[in-house]
Structure formats: structure tokens, C-alpha cells
């Protein structure tokens, strides 16, 4: 079975979803990554969800990145247990990639949340001086 043709279709769908997300004021990069993971389901979510303002989009993106962090961490743990039990080197690769992805998404989610908190406190202090 040739998996490369399906992979290219999945990548094309992720690119289309990124464009759709940008038209609805959503993060292009976040939806590209989400689309790589859940494919057509991401298309449905993008189409069904209404257009977002900047604050809603930033909060939702941080939440999705945190959810992806949890999923990747669970995959890393499961792959580690599987690798220990079966001593398959391929599972160690899956574990390493999932763990690195979890760290990257977790860091990005944390930065998104602290950025929105910092922006909220700046705007609140700006209103207090008026």
C-alpha cells in the first residue's frame, strides 16, 4: 500500500485549513498543526465555529495548545511503557518525538496564556489612569 499519496492529501488539507482559519481570524499556524493531527475534523470545526475576535482567538489557541500538550505527553508515556516492555527501538523514537512535541506545545501554550494575562493587566492599568 502506498502511504505517500494519502500523506500528501493530508498535508494539502492542512494547508487549506490554515487558509480557512485565517479568514475566520484564527491562528494559521495553530490550525495547520491541528489539521495535521485531526485532518477533516479540523475542517468541520473551522467551518462551524463563528468568526473570533483577537482575545477569543488567543485564549482558544492557548487552550488547544495545552490540549495538544496533554495528548502528546500521553503518547510519550504510552510509547515509553511499550518500548520498555517490548524493547522496540521504533517506540523509543515515537516517545522522543512525542515528548519533544509536548514540550514545544506546552511552552507555546504557556507563553500564549502569560501574554494574554500581561496584555490584560496592561490595558486594565491603562484604563485606571484615565
Give how many domains the chain has, as a whole number. 2
**Residue 128 domain flag:** no
Q: Which residue has the higher pLDDT, 35 or 64?
A: 35
As a whole number, the mean pLDDT across the chain is 76
> Who contacts 55 (Cβ-Cβ below 8 Å, separation ≥6)?
116
Q: Domain limits at 112?
A: 53-123
Query: Are 46 and 63 members of one domain?
Result: no
Q: Are 98 and 73 in contact (CB under 8 A)?
A: yes
Domain end position, chosen among 31, 51, 71: 51
**Residue 111 domain flag:** yes
Residues 103-120: what's their mean pLDDT? Answer: 68
Residue 113 vs residues 60, 65, 66, 72, 101: alpha-carbon distances, Å:
10, 10, 10, 19, 18
Q: Are 68 and 32 in contact (CB under 8 A)?
A: no
Query: Are 57 and 106 members of one domain?
Result: yes
**Residue 129 domain flag:** no
Q: How far is residue 118's CA from residue 123's CA, in Å, rounded to a whole number?
A: 9
Query: Are 69 and 28 members of one domain?
Result: no
Cell numbers linked to 70: 496533554
Query: Are 34 and 89 members of one domain?
Result: no
Query: Are 38 and 59 members of one domain?
Result: no
Cell numbers linked to 118: 500581561
Query: Are 60 and 119 members of one domain?
Result: yes
Rounded to two decimals, what is the model's pTM? 0.49
Residues 42-51: what's their mean pLDDT? Answer: 86
Per-residue pLDDT, 5: 61
**Within its chain, how far is the Cα of 36 from the centroid?**
9
Query: Are 17 and 59 members of one domain?
Result: no
26: helix, strand or coil: coil
Amino acid at each position: 500500500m502506498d502511504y505517500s499519496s494519502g500523506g500528501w492529501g493530508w498535508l494539502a488539507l492542512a494547508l487549506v485549513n490554515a487558509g480557512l482559519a485565517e479568514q475566520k481570524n484564527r491562528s494559521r499556524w495553530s490550525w495547520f498543526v491541528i489539521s495535521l493531527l485531526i485532518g477533516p475534523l479540523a475542517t468541520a470545526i473551522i467551518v462551524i465555529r463563528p468568526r473570533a475576535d483577537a482575545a477569543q482567538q488567543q485564549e482558544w489557541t492557548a487552550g488547544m495548545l495545552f490540549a495538544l500538550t496533554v495528548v502528546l505527553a500521553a503518547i510519550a508515556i504510552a510509547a515509553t511503557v511499550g518500548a520498555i516492555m517490548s524493547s522496540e527501538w521504533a517506540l523509543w523514537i515515537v516517545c522522543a518525538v512525542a515528548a519533544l512535541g509536548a514540550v514545544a506545545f506546552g511552552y507555546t501554550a504557556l507563553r500564549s496564556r502569560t501574554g494574554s494575562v500581561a496584555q490584560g493587566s496592561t490595558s486594565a492599568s491603562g484604563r485606571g489612569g484615565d
